[in-house]
Amino acid sequence: MMEIKAQQFVTSTGRQVLTDNGQQGMGGVAEAIFANCAELDNDQLNEIIEWVRLYQR
């Protein structure tokens, strides 16, 4: 399993959305996914991944 680090979740304006201990931080999509991903099944996780990909540039 990939280790989740807070610096992976920084907005384009430099706002960190997770705290350093990987818990919910300042708000945003990353914290919601992190807080709930353990309870989601693979189909739900894939749906989130596809949704996030819509925002890739």
Give dist(CA 7, CA 9) in Å, integer: 5
Give dist(CA 47, CA 50) in Å, integer: 5
For 14-30, b/e burial (b = at least 16 CB within 10 A) is: eebbbeeeeeebeeeeb
Q: What is the pLDDT of residues 5-51, one digit of tens each?
A: 667 777 778 777 766 555 544 456 666 777 788 888 999 889 888 88
* pTM: predicted TM-score of the whole model, two decimal places: 0.49
**Residue 49 gets which letter from DSSP?**
H
Look-up of token digits 């739900």: 44
